[in-house]
Amino acid sequence: MRSKLSRRAFLTQAGALTGGAMAWRLAGGWLPTARAMGPFLNPLRIPTVLTGDHITLTAAETTMQVRPGAPTAVWAFNGEFPGPTIRRPAGARTQVTVHHQLAAIGAESLTIHLHGGHTASQFDGQPERFVIEPGASYTYDYELMEDGEPERGALQWYHDHSHFRTGRNVWMGLAGMFVIDDPDDEARGLPIGDHDIPLMIADRLLDRSNQLRYPFPADEDRPPVGDGSPPFADAIGNVVLVNGTERPYLDVAPGRYRFRILNASNFRPYNLAIPDLGPVIQVGTESGLLPLATTRDAVLLGPAERAEVVVDFSHRAGDRLVMQSVALDSPRTIPATPPFEVDVMEFRVDTTPSPVPAAALGPLPALPAWASQAPLVPDRVFTFGLGIDPQGRSAWTINGRAFDHHRIDARPEIDSVETWMLVNDTPTSTSHYIHIHGGDWVVLSRNGEPPGHGDLGLKETFRVDPGEVLVVASKFTDHLGVFMIHCHMLEHEDHGMMTTYEVVEQGRGDLLNPVPGVTSSLPPSSPHDAGAQRLAPATKATPLPSAPVYCDLTARG
Ligand code: C2O
Ligand code: CU
């Protein structure tokens, strides 16, 4: 335990937030530091695992014992928060029927997104289309195939995606994990079975009677003025839950484990480390295994990002080791949303030595070919900022505009590879964590530099700090139709920072020419293209400007 005073101060500040009145004025500027969450009292909850080819999820209110005292009311799938963990082999078609039984407590329609999935548009869980009315059901059909192959093994997750209400609905509990299992993982020497453990980290605000308090009033209560101050943003809690458990510990054997870690928090990033153990080995991102295992002192995960790490407790029999979220070791030069510094959970290592030595870690799968063939010249630019919505209220924006489901901002062609530039030009110190539905992406550059450790492998959610310019690429395969682009700080998404793109037939795209004057430069060999030859950029590469780039997208025809 550390300072009691700072914990009390923190709770007072968190209490002030519940008033809501000040919340949007504080966006991005205020984050408490609360280190002391121990001692670790509660065994880590492992959600029920469902493996069938037709799974039923019922969303209903229930109570659960989050901590001693009064039980906490949650909105749960099948009575659990997180909902059941769905585990399916890559390539195995899976149907998920969702029953909406939350009518009694006034929840409006729901829509469930398989985050990380490569699904048809009507099964994408879009905010205002194919929604599930109270009392109704909807069956999502997931092929778990991508570009003619079984989808890559990965930790995906499912959650509500209702427009204006995603933040509240996820906060109340409508989220669960979905593991796509790659049958080759055992041969790769990766820990399997009960040594392969998904961990969902999420902070929540619990009041004195242990009830969840969503920090913001209903959307209609926002002031009808766009006075330039940010709308709702920092949904932050006073407890950090892992798999819905407050102050959790996990009994482990003195061997190797694979932890698949998801940050399901509405707003907060965590910089995860086990300082008393030393570096961990990162083997995967939100889109599956990295081509090379990477040693990491700490792994920064923003909302919706995932990391898969291999942790070796072999020589630590009898020890107790704490996973913490720690300060960044190289502080950023521009203020950005900092990681929440907090103790997250404890590992209690058994005293009996493991009878079988762990297999050596074998080679990991290569990235798909398109990842080294993406054009270096960005085809499109998306800027993430602040503006005014059509009702005259402050809103988070993409390319200057708040979300409108009737507007399509990009029409890439099926089977094409495109390069997109993501720019945070918000005039506050907030980072954004940009998620693009539909497929896997590679980061080609960050501020003109080759991707660093946090940007390696395939991804679909990207940290973009204030003023940063990220260049990313993807191939649009299999499914025509509309998909979403949004910030995964859920209150940013709910209050405007979301738009759509539509995958169209070949020859019907809107990509007439590259954005004039904007090119990306990369050194000849980046960590992504060991041995692979990149396509030459169409025009002579010039270094990216370090300041945000403003492009007149309307001039693009
Ligand atoms: Cu996890 Cu569009 O969201
Ligand atoms: Cu954001």
Ligand 1 centroid to Cα of residue 22, in Å, is 27
pLDDT of the residue at 519: 45
Give CA–CA dist 495/397, Å, rounded: 8
C-beta 304 within 6 A of ligand 1: yes
**C-beta separation of 85 from 260 below 8 A:** no
CA distances from 284 to 152, 227, 266 (A): 11, 43, 22
Q: Could you tell me the pLDDT band of residue 550, with boundaries at 50, 70 and 90?
A: very low
Nearest bound ligand to the CA of residue 166 = 1
Across all residues in the chain, what is the average pLDDT? 85
Nearest bound ligand to the CA of residue 434 = 2
pLDDT digits (tens, 9 = 90+) for 111-136: 999 999 999 999 999 999 999 999 99
Q: Could you tell me the pLDDT band of residue 51, with boundaries at 50, 70 and 90?
A: very high
Q: How many residues are present in the chain?
A: 557
pLDDT of the residue at 7: 29
Q: 34 vs 345, which has greater pLDDT?
A: 345
pLDDT of the residue at 538: 29
Flag whether pLDDT at 537 surpasses 50.
Answer: no
C-beta 528 within 6 A of ligand 1: no
Flag whether pLDDT at 368 surpasses 80.
Answer: yes
pLDDT digits (tens, 9 = 90+) for 435-482: 999 999 999 999 999 999 999 999 999 999 999 999 999 999 999 999
Q: Tokens 């082999």 sit at which residue?
A: 89
| pLDDT > 90 fraction of the chain, expressed in percent and rounded | 72
Q: Indicate which residue's Cα is closest to atom 1 of ligand 1.
A: 115
Nearest bound ligand to the CA of residue 433 = 2
Flag whether pLDDT at 36 surpasses 60.
Answer: no
Q: Could you tell me the pLDDT band of residue 529, with boundaries at 50, 70 and 90?
A: very low
C-beta 163 within 6 A of ligand 1: no
pLDDT of the residue at 67: 86
Give CA–CA dist 310/191, Å, rounded: 8
3-state secondary structure of 169: helix
C-beta 115 within 6 A of ligand 1: yes
pLDDT digits (tens, 9 = 90+) for 56-65: 999 999 999 9
Q: Could you tell me the pLDDT band of residue 226, with boundaries at 50, 70 and 90?
A: low
Q: Could you tell me the pLDDT band of residue 352, with boundaries at 50, 70 and 90?
A: confident
Q: Could you tell me the pLDDT band of residue 153, with boundaries at 50, 70 and 90?
A: very high
Give CA–CA dist 347/363, Å, rounded: 28
Ligand 1 centroid to Cα of residue 549, in Å, is 26
Cβ-proximal residues to 37 (8 Å cutoff; 6+ apart), any chain: 239, 240, 247, 342, 343, 344
Which contacts of 58-65 are long-range, i.e. CB under 8 A and separated by 24 or more positions?
58/98, 58/99, 58/101, 59/98, 59/99, 59/100, 59/101, 59/102, 59/107, 59/110, 59/160, 59/174, 60/101, 60/102, 61/102, 61/104, 61/105, 64/244
pLDDT of the residue at 234: 86
Task: Estimate to the nearest angstrom the gap between the alpha carbon of 102 and the chain centroid.
Answer: 25
Ligand 2 centroid to Cα of residue 257, in Å, is 33
Q: 222 vs 553, which has greater pLDDT?
A: 222
C-beta 170 within 6 A of ligand 1: no
Ligand 1 centroid to Cα of residue 95, in Å, is 19
Flag whether pLDDT at 208 surpasses 80.
Answer: yes
Task: Compute the average pLDDT of residues 342-363.
Answer: 86
C-beta 487 within 6 A of ligand 1: no
pLDDT of the residue at 231: 82
C-beta 492 within 6 A of ligand 1: no
pLDDT of the residue at 35: 52
pLDDT digits (tens, 9 = 90+) for 276-296: 999 999 999 999 999 999 999
Q: 37 vs 124, which has greater pLDDT?
A: 124
Task: Compute the average pLDDT of residues 325-349.
Answer: 90
Span between the terminal Cα atoms of the chain, in Å: 60
Least confident of 145-149, 220-224, 304-308, 399-403: 220-224
Give CA–CA dist 116/119, Å, rounded: 9
Ligand 2 centroid to Cα of residue 471, in Å, is 17
Task: Compute the average pLDDT of residues 410-424.
Answer: 97
Flag whether pLDDT at 23 surpasses 60.
Answer: no
Ligand 2 centroid to Cα of residue 431, in Å, is 6
| pLDDT > 70 fraction of the chain, expressed in percent and rounded | 82
Q: Could you tell me the pLDDT band of residue 90, with boundaries at 50, 70 and 90?
A: very high
Q: Indicate which residue's Cα is closest to atom 3 of ligand 1.
A: 115
pLDDT of the residue at 350: 94
Task: Compute the average pLDDT of residues 158-169.
Answer: 95
Q: Could you tell me the pLDDT band of residue 546, with boundaries at 50, 70 and 90?
A: very low
Task: Compute the average pLDDT of residues 516-542.
Answer: 34
pLDDT of the residue at 30: 34
Ligand 1 centroid to Cα of residue 349, in Å, is 35
Give CA–CA dist 160/148, Å, rounded: 28
